[in-house]
Amino acid sequence: MRRIEIAGGGLAGLSLGIALRRRGVPVLIREASVYPRHRVCGEFINGVTEETLEVLGIWPLFDDALRHRATRWWMGERLILEAELTRPALGMSRWEMDERLREKFENTGGELRTNDRAICEAKEGLVWTAGRMLQKKSELLGLKAHFEGVELEGFLEMHIGEGSYLGLTPITADGSRVNVCGLFRKGARTKGVNPIIDALQRSGLDGLAARLEKGRMDQKSLTGISGIQLGEQSVKDDLCTLGDAERMIPPFTGNGMSMAFESAECALQPLIDYAEGGEDWTGTQERIREALDLRFQKRVNLALMLHRCLTIRAGRVTLSAAARSGVLPFAWLHRRLS
Ligand SMILES: Cc1cc2nc3c(=O)[nH]c(=O)nc-3n(C[C@H](O)[C@H](O)[C@H](O)COP(=O)(O)OP(=O)(O)OC[C@H]3O[C@@H](n4cnc5c(N)ncnc54)[C@H](O)[C@@H]3O)c2cc1C
């Protein structure tokens, strides 16, 4: 049986590795970093189905995940929407999730090399799941940290500011610990101020900044990323990519992790056929690309359009008016974006 090499041990890479191992395929994962660790992420999964997680063999890892059922959206200081999700979103910290997947992969006989940065070059049998491609000119900045002492009343909160948005998600069943994660526009930092509070103030979200200042931030959980490029990623044509490395949905959807798992599901059968010798590498890549386009193209295009609306003033005014007057088709959008 041919071996599959996976570059990047995040959600797409580990879930694919587990699924391939369950079918007896030899798998090596090369991961640039170590486990466990905090990741910039809103830490709720919108959209993924039990069937997808079953196919990948990882559904039991989510047995005790939180189930988020409702959301509140603010535009600046104003509450504009309170709605039920059309399907509960799963909640778990990335510290926990990535570590559970790592353990499962190794327990199924997968070979994992940490602190091992792969070179981005196309080669037969290599699947690139190393996350988004770095876009040096990007003005987007992602920040996240865990807080205690911030009350959410069981809701997922989304706050929209000027050119930014930020989500608050309970990550413990009693709501005592909350993940705070946002996408901001880069700007001059105020020295000595917590970077999340600083970014909120620059976005005109002073009320939320004051609320978080009353809580306690877990300093070790504070993480940031820049160079974020949304939508299709500019990768080498002949590279077999999955997850964020293939295309990145705007984070407000909470659907990126689902897409990482779904992309592993799309690639699974073509890769098994390749490993068993029933398909060549070029044909395998074509089948994977077609499956990914079919599954994600419309979803990501709609999300990119809404992301633009959320980050320009005219778009925000229109969305806010539609939400407040009750004509925003939230349930329809939620289904389409997950
Ligand atoms: C601000 C923000 C908030 C978000 N919030 C949410 C949310 O609430 N819900 C949601 O579903 N999604 C969210 N996302 C998106 C989600 O985090 C990603 O879609 C998801 O992590 C993608 O998984 P992945 O496996 O493709 O990549 P990753 O999880 O990023 O994994 C890639 C892995 O590759 C490794 N790597 C990188 N380079 C190399 C190399 N050269 N060689 C070897 N290894 C390498 C990295 O260390 C990493 O472990 C958010 C994203 C951002 C930016």
Q: Which one of 28, 30, 34, 41 would you pick to mutate in the ligand 1 pocket, going by the greatest count of ligand atoms within 8 A of its CB?
A: 41
Distance CA 21, CA 84 (A): 38
Q: Quick one: pLDDT at residue 200?
A: 96
Q: Quick one: pLDDT at residue 237?
A: 78
Residue with CA closest to ligand 1 atom 26: 243
Phi-psi region of 106 (alpha: psi -120 to 50; beta: other; left: phi over 0): alpha
Residue with CA closest to ligand 1 atom 9: 254
Tens of pLDDT along 108-145?
Answer: 999 999 999 999 999 999 999 999 998 888 999 999 99
CA 131–ligand 1 middle distance (angstroms) = 5
Q: Quick one: pLDDT at residue 193?
A: 85
Q: Is the CB of 263 under 6 A from ligand 1?
A: no
CA 120–ligand 1 middle distance (angstroms) = 17
Residue with CA closest to ligand 1 atom 53: 142
Q: Is the CB of 30 under 6 A from ligand 1?
A: yes
User: Would you say residue 234 has pLDDT above 90?
Assistant: no
Pick the atom of ligand 1 nearest to 13's CA: 25
Q: Which one of 249, 257, 310 would you pick to mutate in the ligand 1 pocket, going by the greatest count of ligand atoms within 8 A of its CB?
A: 257
DSSP single-letter state for residue 253: G
Would you call 125 helix, strand, or coil by DSSP?
coil
Parallel, antiparallel, or unpaired for β 156-161 and 164-170? Answer: antiparallel
Q: Quick one: pLDDT at residue 285?
A: 97
Residue 117 CA: distances (Å) to CA of 67, 135, 225, 235: 35, 18, 18, 17
Alpha helices in the chain (DSSP H): 11-22, 50-56, 94-107, 195-202, 206-213, 256-275, 281-311, 313-324, 330-336
Mean pLDDT of all residues in 189-214: 93
User: Would you say residue 210 has pLDDT above 90?
Assistant: yes
CA 321–ligand 1 middle distance (angstroms) = 33
Q: Quick one: pLDDT at residue 236?
A: 76
Instruction: Enumerate the domain spans of the chain.
Output: 4-39+50-61+93-133+232-315+330-336
Measured CA angle at 87 (ends 85, 91), to 5 deg = 85
Pick the atom of ligand 1 nearest to 142's CA: 1
Would you call 49 helix, strand, or coil by DSSP?
coil
Distance CA 338, CA 329 (A): 15
CA 241–ligand 1 middle distance (angstroms) = 13
Task: Tell the CATH superfamily of the 4-39+50-61+93-133+232-315+330-336 domain.
Answer: FAD/NAD(P)-binding domain (3.50.50.60)
Q: Is the CB of 97 under 6 A from ligand 1?
A: no
Positive/negative CA dihedral, 263, 268, 269, 273: positive
**pTM score above 0.95:** yes
Q: Under a CB-based contact definition with an 8 Å cutoff, are residues 98 and 39 in contact? A: yes
Q: Is the CB of 170 under 6 A from ligand 1?
A: no
Q: Is the CB of 32 under 6 A from ligand 1?
A: yes
Q: Is the CB of 31 under 6 A from ligand 1?
A: yes
Greatest extent of the chain over all pairs of C-alpha atoms, in Å: 60
Q: 206-220 b/e with 16+ CB inside 10 Å = b?
A: eebbebbeeeebeee
Q: Is the CB of 181 under 6 A from ligand 1?
A: yes
Positive/negative CA dihedral, 288, 291, 297, 299: negative
Give Cβ neighbours of residue 72 (< 8 Å, ≥ 6 apart). 79, 81, 82, 155, 156, 157, 158
Q: Give the closest residue to 97 by CA, choosing from 193, 179, 184.
A: 179
Q: Which one of 31, 185, 334 would you pick to mutate in the ligand 1 pocket, going by the greatest count of ligand atoms within 8 A of its CB?
A: 31
Q: Which two tokens stand for residue 271?
A: 């890769």
User: Would you say residue 74 has pLDDT above 90?
Assistant: yes
CA 132–ligand 1 middle distance (angstroms) = 7
